Amino acid sequence: MGKLRGFLEYEREQEATLAVDKRLKDYKEFTKELDPKVLSNQGARCMDCGIPFCHSGCPLGNLIPDFNDAVYKNNWQKALHILHSTNNFPEFTGRLCPAPCESACVLGIIQPPVSIELIEKYIVERGFKEGWIKANPPKKRSGKTVAIIGSGPSGLAAAQQLNRAGHMVTVFERDKKVGGLLRYGIPDFKLEKSVIDRRINILEQEGITFKTGVHVGVNYKVEDLHDFDAVVLCAGATKRRGLPIPGADAKGVVQAMEFLKRNNQVVDGLAESTPELNAKGKDVIVIGGGDTGSDCVGTSNRHGAKSVTNFEIMPIPPQFRSDENPWPFWPFTLKTSSSHEEGVDRKWSILTKEFVKDPQGHLKAVKTVEVKWVKIPGERPQLQEVAGSEKQWPCDLALLALGFTGPEETLSEQLGLHIDQRSNIQASNNYQTNIPHIFAAGDMRRGQSLIVWAISEGREAAYHVDQYLMGTSSLPTKEKGDLPAA
């Protein structure tokens, strides 16, 4: 695959970006397009490694060496066919996936890994540019109807797969526009929403019906779901984790997703900016060091924050893999996002103790203490506060980016569904809940996870729904190892 010894000839390259001072002026994507020859060289770096561990790293089972080889040989249309055979929406994963495939790349043992995510993005963008990506409605219909609840990546993937199987698919979305957290959660500077609209237009042309502003269990009776032959729950894990400490009710303590969603709506012209959800001129503290925290940093800087500080309770990760974290597993190393590069003071091993309010109840400061993790033989590491390390930080806006605890209970309670120990919808290995015609997929089933996992879940669930409806299924599934041939 790729060019023989190409990995010795070409260095790993990534997209260049606009200067920070320029890209902070708006919410547009800020990467610069690469020359096709550069991309061909990147495909040439893919080794004939015998066992492509990138496959094990990718939840979708993408045929990575195959499309890398096609790009190296400048056969972009073939590369697109290979990529689409396992991934419904590479324009999303090519922008947003943390690329576990690259962490498992064999070349990564000795050199920077192959730029798999970059190649994936350019394959699909080339496909749209050349007009190769077109609606492909099913040639015949099964007469079966399926309802998909939620239009995030798992819901969209399940919808497209089930539509391809010939079923009539209706997707219900409670927000005004389709996309779930892709639209209302991911900042526009990481994913411009025209990218979502472009794909939704194709799905509609293929025969999928989208109904927005429909909140099942609130303004749509769950009993009406029984009119469908099958139902797939893909509403995500949207219960936000709070921080139950003194002062948590202060005006200025805001959930990160509330902050990010409002900004998406403002950029889209669907809402007005409000002082409570705008960082302009404020001392901002983001609590939580994951992707959501990073997104809050980038958004706050675009608002014109006075200062942005990021707290993380864990110690700073190492620059390189430790002996306890070997290849090809996901590397627990220091990650620096483009938002971090735009300006933030990152603080590690910090525990937030109190939100300090002024007499009017507005947030004015945050009290913290430094912590350390102490290893105790036979037990999990214990968190201990460092004596004398208390500190008070000026703060007008605290953004809680602490993750999610599971799906909201609206559907599970009204439908009588079982939940598991982690508060997710309980579903068997075939994605089926305790009610036979109701299935669950994505974050709603497995808990908060990656976009690439959501798409994988939607595809796998679709296979089992099709099998339930028809007795058999021709849809591809990783379980049987019947991914399409390249």
Q: Which tens digit of pLDDT belongs to each residue from 184-232?
A: 999 999 999 999 999 999 999 999 999 999 999 999 999 999 999 999 9
Residue 482 has pLDDT above 90, yes or no: no
**Percent of all residues in the chain with a pLDDT value above 70, rounded to a whole number:** 98
Q: If pLDDT is split at 50, 70 and 90, which confidence band does 377 have?
A: confident
Name the pairing type of β-strands 363-374 and 350-357.
antiparallel
Handedness of CA 434, 435, 439, 440 (dihedral sign): negative
Q: At what angle do helices 116-130 and 64-72 cross, to 10 degrees?
A: 60
Could you tell me the two tokens for 201?
Answer: 């237009």
Check whether the bond before 328 is cis (ω within 30° of 0): yes
pLDDT attached to residue 320: 92
Contacts for 440 with CB less than 8 Å, ≥ 6 apart: 232, 233, 234, 417, 424, 425, 427, 431, 433, 461
At 480, is the pLDDT very low, low, confident or very high (cuts 50, 70, 90)? low
Type of residue at 134? K
Contact 343, 303 (CB under 8 A): no
318 Cβ contact list (under 8 Å, min separation 6): 332, 333, 334
**If DSSP codes are grouped into helix, strand and coil, which group holds residue 57?**
helix
Helices 291-303 and 256-267: crossing angle in degrees, nearest 10, is 50
For residues 461 and 443, the answer to whether their CB atoms sit within 8 Å is no
486 has a pLDDT exceeding 70: no
Task: Round to whole Å and give the CA distance between 276 and 259.
Answer: 9
In whole angstroms, how large is the CA radius of gyration of the chain?
A: 23
**Which tokens go with 72?**
């190296």
The predicted structure's pLDDT at residue 481? 56
Sign of CA dihedral 122, 128, 132, 133: positive
pTM for this model (two decimals)? 0.95
Give the model's confidence band at 356: pLDDT under 50 very low, under 70 low, under 90 confident, else very high. Answer: very high
Cβ(303)–Cβ(267) under 8 Å? no
Q: Mind giving me the DSSP string for 123-148? A: HHHHHHHHT-------SS--S-EEEE
Q: What is the pLDDT of residues 99-152, one digit of tens each?
A: 999 999 999 999 999 999 999 999 999 999 999 999 999 999 999 999 999 999
Residue 118 · residue 202 · CB < 8 Å:
no
Q: What is the pLDDT of residue 168?
A: 98
Residue 363: name the closest of 243, 185, 241 by CA: 243
CB atoms within 10 A of CB 334: 13
pLDDT at 15 exceeding the cut of 80 = yes
Cα(30)–Cα(338) distance, rounded to whole angstroms?
A: 10
Any alpha helices (H) in 27-152, and if so which ranges? 36-44, 54-57, 64-72, 76-84, 90-96, 100-103, 116-130
Burial class (CB in 10 A: 0-12, 13-18, 19+), 132: middle
Other Cβ atoms closer than 10 A to 197: 13
146 has which bridge partners? 169, 230
CA distances 45 to 14, 68, 72, 138, Å, are: 13, 9, 9, 38
Amino acid sitting at position 82: I
- Give me 450's structure tokens: 């990656």
Please tell me the distance from the alpha carbon of residue 152 to that of residue 136, in angstroms, as a whole number.
21
pLDDT at 261 over 50: yes
Is the predicted pLDDT of residue 485 greater than 50, yes or no?
Answer: no
Which helix (H) or strand (E) segment holds residue 461: the answer is: helix 451-470
Whether residue 188 contacts residue 27, with contact meaning beta carbons closer than 8 Å, is answered with yes
